Amino acid sequence: MDTGLKGRSAIITGGASGIGLGIALALAEEGVNLAIVGRNPDRTAIDELCSKGVKCISIKTDVSKENEVVNMISSAISEFGHIDMYINNAAWAWHQPITKIDSESWYKTIDTNLSACMWACREICRHMIPKKSGSILIIGSAARFNPAYREATYRITKMGLCMYMQNLAIEMAPYNIRVNMITPGHFKTRMTGNVPPAVEDKMKHIIPAHRFGNTFDIGYTAVMLLSDRLSGYTYGADLVIDGGLTLRPLPIYTDEEIIGFNKV
């Protein structure tokens, strides 16, 4: 299927690892030129993306700093001439119980996860508005549906992103700029690398799909939402990709019992 994305250009924050890399690889398969942003984007990931035959540059940026975000957007525009898609994916999680949240971790998390998105979207929308076209994708988190211990600050940023995405979607719609969100459940990446195996086993038990997500599970969905051809009437959608985790079924039946219900 032709997604209509060939020859377009995209900026992906945090695009050299985990979920961001999954999205970058799926876009590269579609012929999209990429600007990959990170404090220290992994060279191997950039080489892998270039090997797909697209132009791929890395832009070293700390997105928690407004001036660096402004420079990131202007450098990508001057490199490619125009930017058609912006994917806000970079995030930071610092796990602290309520009684131990300090101002350093609070501001770093808010600035990296929430403020960075506002500065970047402000800049990219100023570029997209005169063209009357563009597509923006914001990566949220299913953590916002389900309070988890030591995640207050992170959850607040992801809830904030959701509110912000809705406003951005309605304010940009008259310019034919579509804004959507993907809300992932649990994926094994650097961010979740410290989760102990015993906790992972418990999580797999409560996820109806009984597995964690693979980054390509998100990559192709991102392509779909970013493509005007595939999602031209999709504005302000929040697509949850979590193997059913947020449905939170009561853990009272085994899979065998559930399958048994359906036997004829």
The verdict on 33 binding ligand NAP (CB under 6 A) reads: no
- Token pair for residue 108? 């770093």
Which residue lies nearer to ligand NAP by CB, 14 or 219? Answer: 14
We find the least distance from the C-beta atom of residue 139 to ligand NAP, in angstroms, to be 4
Is residue 40 part of the contact set for ligand NAP (CB under 6 A)?
A: yes
**Rounded least distance, CB 41 to ligand NAP, Å:** 5
Using CB under 6 A as the binding rule, whether residue 219 contacts ligand NAP is answered as no
Tokens of residue 199, six digits? 């906790």
Angle at 200 between CA 195 and CA 202, to 5 degrees: 135
Q: Please report, as residue ranges, which positions from 63 to 122 form the binding site for ligand NAP (by CB under 6 A).
A: 63-64, 89-92, 112
Instruction: Using CB under 6 A, pick the residue from 5, 10, 11, 20 that binds ligand NAP.
Output: 20
The two most distant CA atoms of the chain are separated, in Å, by 64
- Which of 3, 9, 58, 61 forms a contact with ligand NAP (CB under 6 A)? 61
Of 209, 161, 214, the residue nearest 192 (C-alpha)? 214
The token pair that represents 173 in the structure block: 């719609």
The closest residue (CB) to ligand NAP is 18
- Name the residue among 12, 2, 52 with its Cα closest to residue 182: 12
Q: Which helix (H) or strand (E) holds 139?
A: strand 134-139
Sign of dihedral through CA atoms 96, 23, 126, 57? positive
Binding mask 221-240 for ligand NAP (x = CB under 6 A): --------------------
Separation CA 151–CA 154 (nearest Å): 5
Letters for 165-204 (x = contact with ligand NAP by CB under 6 A, - = none) are: -------------------x-xx-xxxx------------
- Segment interacting with ligand NAP (CB under 6 A) among 16-24, 125-133, 144-152, 167-175: 16-24
Q: Closest approach of Cβ 170 to ligand NAP, in Å?
A: 23
Comparing CB distances to ligand NAP, the nearer of 112 and 231 is 112
Count of residues touching ligand NAP (by CB under 6 A)? 31
Question: Does 8 help bind ligand NAP (rule: CB under 6 A)?
Answer: no
In three state form, how does the secondary structure of 18-75 look?
A: HHHHHHHHHHHHCCCEEEEEECCCCHHHHHHHHCCCCCEEEEECCCCCHHHHHHHHHH
Out of 141, 153, 180, 231, the only residue in the binding site for ligand NAP (CB under 6 A) is 141
Dist. CA 106–CA 186, nearest whole Å: 23
Does 160 engage in binding with ligand NAP (CB under 6 A)? no
SS3 call for 191: coil
**In the complex, which residues of this chain contact ligand NAP (CB under 6 A)?**
13-14, 16-20, 37-41, 61-64, 89-92, 112, 139, 141-142, 184, 186-187, 189-192
